[in-house]
Structure 1
Amino acid sequence: MTTSAVIVNPAKVVDLDERREEICGLLAEAGWPEPLWLTTTPEDPGCGMAVQAVEAGVDVVFTCGGDGTVMAVASVLAGTDVALALVPSGTGNLLATNLGVTRDVRAAVDVAIRGDRRRIDVGIVDGADTSTGHPGTFTVMAGMGFDAELLDATPDTAKRRFGWLAYVAAGARRLRRKRVPMRIRLDGGRWLRRRARSVLVANVGRLQGGIPLLPDAEPDDGWLDVAVLTPRDLTDWVRLGWGVIMRRGGRRQLETYRARKVEVHSDREQARELDGDVVAPARMLVARISPGALLLCVPRAIPPPPAV
């Protein structure tokens, strides 16, 4: 008998009672017992609830929230055999998008019931403690510079009303800001010196709106994919955006690398983010990979057609 817990972020769910009835009903149909139901708070985005679920001995933990809720819960489940199941309810839902989990509640729950289990990597950022004291982790990406600036500048009300398009409006107002000197070191090698607007360290490759920034990134390959964005002006931003969307051109404004440890240093404090949650600004971002740390519920793989 599979036991479970559901961790819900009430800020991301319109009708909590309806959502609870729906999820519990779907689990009951599958013969699963009543799940442990836990709600996040402004003080605890999900870490404490995940600890409670693990201590209760559940097999699967559902997250019903956005990428921030997933990040908090994943930081606790990493290194355990408790599986994480995604019920996307936030604005970005980037981990779910990259792994093919839809916002349809029935389909998302069905992934946990009838889908596969896949171990994925988890990124760890040194010195980026969350408000609850847990070490900073990410399942999607960490960033320093422009990406964190626009996340910090996008109001929650705009995100609820316009979805990921709210980030576009916030970002457009910041495209003309100057690049800053940054140094990047990969796996202890030589320092790369760049004037950049942003450095992204990613576990998966798609951004909001399905934009394929790092199309070769895989969440279980044991590598961090790094994107260094160096546009000088609005024209460069347009070239970069077009090149990324069309998967051609724009390479002068975008450098990509791979590493297991990434160090980014700046000569001034920069905004930083982990999986869409803004953390304290700093002059450095140090990230490393923890291979296969998180057991995740994913859609069942489609078998190849039989050979003729």
Structure 2
Amino acid sequence: MDSGQDKLTAGDGGLRAAVVVNPVKVADLEEFRRTVDGALTAAGWPEPTWYETTVEDPGRGQTEEAVRAGAEVVFACGGDGTVMACVTALAGTDVALAVLPQGTGNLLAANLGLSNDLAAGLAVAVERGKRRLDVGAVEEQCFAVMAGMGFDAQMLDSTSETTKKRIGWPAYVVGAAKHLRDRPMRVSIRIDDQPPVRRRARSVLVANVGRLQGGVRLLTDAEPDDGWLDVAVLTPRTLRHWLAMGWALARRRGSVPRMEVFRARTVEITSNRAQPRQLDGDLIEPGRVLRAEIRPQSLWLCVPRPEQHPDLAVDAESAAERGERLIEEARRE
């Protein structure tokens, strides 16, 4: 596989592209590479340069190397960790991110309506629909969708890779069920420069975009480029509370019980004890504090339609159809 050392060269009308792939997430890497290379060639793009992630570097270093080599678009191929590493490297640059999800339940892909649809991801990139999005920053890492402390990270930690591969995103429901009756955490939440508010919460989510796994819209008002983070504090205490919350989210009518929402440019959540934490569906080190800030208009993202629509998944289904035609055209050549 290419080491990525050679300078990328532009073709007629196409963009210089790099592919950052987690080889563990791809069942047949050579076939995957042939499909991607063929589709981009059929679209008039030059052959992309390929970079493989490693255990030591899940994609940030490879993406930074691709940017130095002149890439105009970076395809992130892997799970949540791969995509988050690419987001972190590309935030603040003019290089666009395109998502080719290969893991199960990728959060950013879910918000793009892409699921694990390779054809749709390719079509979205070659059609050059882009939007400049905000990102959130936690310490030295960036997230495009949401960060969280408490129940949401516990759920991720309790969901096995085997179950995810077998049944897909519903595996997270299995992981969630293990923690429904856990005790809440005592948190202090400071929104910007306001006095802290104190709650007994099961989870605190800091969202840039509002869709969860399975297409559920947790935060209907969260927009990816409005310069704000939406902070959701979940306070269910009984199984009945969880069921009421789930029913309200499924119907999306009116307010959601046991959920309080704030808006912030900077938020600091402090718990009475160390808690599991996650960024864009990828677990980070547990801790007592989660501090996030918004970085407005930091990331160019390839999207199904570039118009200013609050839902990034607009046009995803028709993009998938166009992508299938592109792949078929590449196979005939």
If the length of structure 1 is used for normalisation, what is the TM-score?
0.92
Determine the structure 2 residue equivalent to 1:306: none
**2:218 is aligned with 1:218:** no
2:190 aligned to which of 178, 185, 190: 185
Query: Which residue type is aligned with residue 166 of structure 1?
Result: A
SS of the equivalent of 2:182 reads: coil
Query: Which residue type is aligned with residue 255 of structure 1?
Result: E
Change in CA separation of 1:64 and 1:226 when aligned onto 2, cut-off 3 Å: same
1:211: how far off?
1.1
Determine the structure 2 residue equivalent to 1:95: 108
**2:234 is aligned with 1:229:** yes
1:228-252 CA-to-partner distances (Å, cap 9, x unmatched) read: 0000111111111111111136634
Determine the structure 1 residue equivalent to 2:250: 245
SS of the equivalent of 1:6 reads: strand
Contact 2:131 2:306 in 1 (8 A): no
1:104: how far off?
2.6
Q: 1:156, 1:102 → 2: CA distance?
A: 17
SS of the equivalent of 1:226 reads: strand
Q: 2:296, 2:223 → 1: CA distance?
A: 12
2:80 aligned to which of 61, 67, 76: 67
Contact 2:204 2:234 in 1 (8 A): yes
Q: 2:306, 2:295 → 1: CA distance?
A: 24
1:86-138 CA-to-partner distances (Å, cap 9, x unmatched) read: 11212122212212335332221121111311100110013xxxxxxxx1211
Q: 2:217, 2:199 → 1: CA distance?
A: 23
SS of the equivalent of 2:291 reads: strand
Q: 2:78, 2:250 → 1: CA distance?
A: 27
**2:38 is aligned with 1:25:** yes
Q: 1:9, 1:285 → 2: CA distance?
A: 27
Determine the structure 2 residue equivalent to 1:300: 305
1:40-89 CA-to-partner distances (Å, cap 9, x unmatched) read: 11221101110110111111101111222111011011111111111121
1:209 aligned to which of 207, 214, 217: 214
1:222: how far off?
0.8
Structural mapping, 1:60-209, within 5 Å: 60-126=73-139, 135-209=140-214
Q: 1:302, 1:191 → 2: CA distance?
A: 37
**2:48 is aligned with 1:48:** no
1:155: how far off?
1.5
Contact 2:158 2:178 in 1 (8 A): no
Q: 1:174, 1:207 → 2: CA distance?
A: 18
Unmatched tracts of structure 1, length 5 or more: 127-134, 304-308
If the length of structure 2 is used for normalisation, what is the TM-score?
0.85
Query: Which residue type is aligned with residue 156 of structure 2?
Result: L
Query: Which residue type is aligned with residue 161 of structure 1?
Result: R
Determine the structure 2 residue equivalent to 1:264: 269
Query: Which residue type is aligned with residue 271 of structure 2?
Result: S
Name the stretch that deviates more: 190-199 or 157-166.
157-166
Unmatched tracts of structure 2, length 5 or more: 1-9, 309-333
Contact 2:136 2:294 in 1 (8 A): yes
